[in-house]
Amino acid sequence: MNAVDTNVLIYVSDTRDPRKRERSRELLAAPNPPVVMWQVACEFIAAARKLGAYGLSQAQAWEQLDQLLQFCPLALPSERVLTTARRLEATCQLSH
């Protein structure tokens, strides 16, 4: 099993370095897509806050994570936990 690192997810969304962006997209489009560990998904959402100045909103970060999970499976605990975290962040101003 291969797992994706948080930095790969950040590079996909970060427009400042086109070379890293392209390479990270290649890694995610591999024939055997990596799994996304629960911790990496949470780290990506938290780190995406820093990309707001570069045009990535929290809503867009969540949408990108949703799209990624369409072809890269989430590893532990479950997608339901992510859905709950997203709802709590939006309705209660909580972060994780």
Q: What are the structural domain ranges in the chain?
A: 6-92
pLDDT one-digit tens code per residue, 33-47: 889 998 999 999 999
- pLDDT score recorded for residue 21: 93
Nearest Cα neighbor of 21 from 32, 31, 13 is: 13
Nearest Cα neighbor of 70 from 24, 39, 29, 17 is: 29
Q: How confident is the model at residue 14 (pLDDT cuts 50, 70, 90)?
A: confident
Instruction: Establish whether the linkage from the previous residue to 77 is cis, with ω within 30° of 0.
Output: yes
Q: pTM of this prediction?
A: 0.73
